[in-house]
Amino acid sequence: MSAAIALRADAKALAQRIAWQDWERTAASLDASGHAILPGLLDDAECRSIAALYERPEGFRSRVVMARHGFGSGEYRYFAYPLPAAVAMLRTAVYPYLAPVANRWNAAMGLDVRYPEAHADFLQRCHDAGQSRPTPLLLRYDAGDYNCLHQDLYGEHVFPLQMAVLLSQPGTEFEGGEFVLTEQRPRMQSRVEVVPLRRGDAVVFAVHHRPVAGTRGTYRINLRHGVSRVRSGRRHTLGIVFHDAQ
Ligand SMILES: O=C(O)CCC(=O)C(=O)O
Ligand SMILES: [Fe+2]
């Protein structure tokens, strides 16, 4: 079998895995808690081959050493365009399932921005506004590394949901390094959620805020995400942000 045929077969399998996710449950979970797990989005071979790209810098536009910026410890690289096929597929094929949630959230929060059905149309909006640098990224953490709580905002245009796929197996390849989310509710103390992921699972989560229905109407809560300290081993993640960067 030629490499091209193998690649097409993989693309079909990945497209099917995306389509077969329970998107109704995902939307309900996003509404209820601001995040949702997509189990087994990538298979082990895909996780391994995407993580291995980290050692091939020619496919990336930049490298960030987190400690230099006070972001934490560890490093990441932003992919260059054209994105690797699997990364591009994840971004364009997952987006249409999330756009209706994003539109509902904006309506609930009284925000006028609406998102088109196709990712290409949203990217065009970003690019027309000068946000044209690709934001999908690959992260690498070794023992002692962590990612401080943050929000991935890269300009005026923001798609309010993003996704991270865990590429390493907890318990065998690394220990610690939990994905965490915090929610800052108005006039209340912050709440933290630890998201249990296995290799190949993705977490979809709010980039910066989400609506919550209260007794006196809908209010907006502020979210941040990060990664607790990796206690041993090496942990890789693929980050999919749907807006591009200035
Ligand atoms: O490594 C992680 O799990 C989180 C990565 C992250 O901050 C992101 O994908 O935006
Ligand atoms: Fe992030």
pTM of the model: 0.96
Residue 1 in 3-state DSSP?
A: coil
Choose among 27, 8, 182: nearest CA to 85.
8
Residue 234's contacts (CB-CB under 8 Å, 6 or more residues apart) are: 140, 141, 142, 143, 168, 173, 174
In a domain, 245, yes or no: no
Label residue 22 by pLDDT band (50, 70, 90).
Answer: very high
| pLDDT over threshold 70, residue 6 | no
| pLDDT over threshold 80, residue 3 | no
Between the alpha carbon of residue 76 and those of residues 42, 68, 145, 237, the distances in Å are: 20, 12, 12, 9
| Number of structural domains found in the chain | 1
Atom 9 (ligand 1) nearest CA: 239
* pLDDT digits 0-9 by tens, 200-234: 999 999 999 999 998 888 999 999 999 999 999 99
Ligand with an atom nearest the CA of residue 136: 1
Ligand with an atom nearest the CA of residue 223: 2
Ligand with an atom nearest the CA of residue 151: 2
Atom of ligand 1 nearest to the CA of 237: 1
Q: What is the pLDDT of residue 186?
A: 83
Atom 6 (ligand 1) nearest CA: 239
For residue 226, the CA-to-ligand 2 centroid distance in Å is 7
User: Which CATH number covers residue 165?
Assistant: 2.60.120.620
Using CA atoms, how far apart are residues 96 and 86, in angstroms rounded to an integer? 16
The complex's ipTM works out to: 0.99
Residue 46 sits in which domain range? 3-240
**pLDDT average, residue stretch 135-147:** 98
For residue 130, the CA-to-ligand 2 centroid distance in Å is 21
At residue 156, φ and ψ (nearest 5 deg) are: -65, -40
For residue 150, the CA-to-ligand 1 centroid distance in Å is 9
- Which residue ranges have their beta carbon within 6 Å of ligand 1? 139, 147, 152, 164, 179, 225, 227, 237, 239
Most ligand 1 atoms within 8 A of CB, residue of 41, 50, 225, 238 to mutate: 225
Most ligand 1 atoms within 8 A of CB, residue of 179, 207, 240 to mutate: 179
Q: What is the pLDDT of residue 4?
A: 53
In a domain, 246, yes or no: no
